[in-house]
Copies of this chain bind each other. A is one copy, B any other.
Amino acid sequence: MPQVGARPALSRSVEDYLKAIYRLALQASPVATSDIAQALDLSAPSVSGMVKRLSEQGLLEHVPYKGVELTDRGRRAALGMLRRHRILETYLVEKLGFTWDSVHPEAERLEHAASESLIERMALTLGNPAFDPHGDPIPQADGSVAEVESMPLTEIPPNSTVEILRVVTSEPKRLRYLAEFGLTPGSILYLVDRQPFHGPVTVRVGRKDRVLGHEMAALVLCRPTDGDQIA
């Protein structure tokens, strides 16, 4: 008997800010307000205003003209949102037949409306998955996140066999393009060739050789497999 208790206290906007700041902080910290503005497609003054409110609420610390860092409370909230988002994506793909390129915007809205107990019911039904359909790690209920070592396809030496672990874009067109080539988490591929100066990468998936531009190849994160399983 799950109790449906409404969770919020945080508005949809606040939740999206915290999530964006968390992700930007993985790249560089403190996080510049202009980067937040770009990530959320908002004007810089809007972000300045929100940042002030969030720091007053103790969700982040702001050093004016320097940047922003999440407090523990802010980070916990952000991790909670990432968990919700990724459980939802996984559920939509696994249980409702959505494609991996279509679930992001749906999860982007549902993450603010679903109760804690709904998310945990879904997680249970899925067998508490550790990764979502894009290979993104799902933060656990206790706030822990799996750390996975991986390299972009652009850094893999030729003549190696790798497993795809993660694809780091949410753009439907790019996801569809990669899926057409069989480049989804879990697939095994053999790196045939890599050209210098941001040149293309040639990979063999199954029997087919595919040529990928540098920009797309950089989105595909891999792990070397033990032996060369494809010749």
Query: Which A residues fall within an 8 A CB radius of B?
Result: 1-4, 6, 92, 95-99, 102-103, 105-106, 109-110, 112-115, 118, 121-122, 125
- Contacting pair A113 B109 (CB below 8 A): yes
- Chain B residues whose CB sits within 8 angstroms of the CB of A110 once the complex forms: 110, 113-114
A111 closest partner in B (C-beta) = B113
> When the two chains form their complex, are residues A109 and B2 in contact, meaning their CB atoms are under 8 A apart?
no
Q: CB distance A105 to B4 under 8 Å? A: yes
User: How far, in angstroms, from A4 to B105 measured CA to CA in the complex?
Assistant: 7
Collect the chain B residues with CB atoms within 8 Å of residue A95's CB. 95
* B96 & A106 in contact (Cβ 8 Å cutoff): no
**B residues less than 8 Å from A1 (CB atoms):** 99, 102
Taking the closest CB of chain B, its distance from the CB of A129, in whole angstroms, is 16
Contact check, A115 vs B106: say whether CB atoms are below 8 A apart.
Answer: yes
Contacts of A102 in B (CB 8 A): 1-4
Contact A98:B2 (CB < 8 A) given known A110-B113, A110-B114, A113-B110: yes
A96 touches B118 (CB 8 A): yes
Identity of the chain B residue whose Cβ is nearest the Cβ of A106 in the assembled complex: B4
Whether B3 pairs with A109 at a CB distance below 8 angstroms is: no
Q: Are B2's CB and A105's CB within 8 A?
A: no
Asked if A4 and B103 make an inter-chain contact with CB atoms under 8 angstroms apart, the answer reads yes
Asked whether B92 lies within 8 Å of A118 as measured between CB atoms, the reply is: yes
A218 CB to nearest chain B CB (Å):
26
Q: If the complex has contacts A92-B118, A112-B113, A113-B113, are A97 and B4 also in contact, measured as CB distance less than 8 A?
A: no
Smallest CB-CB A-B distances: 6 pairs: A113-B113, A109-B113, A4-B106, A4-B102, A96-B121, A1-B99
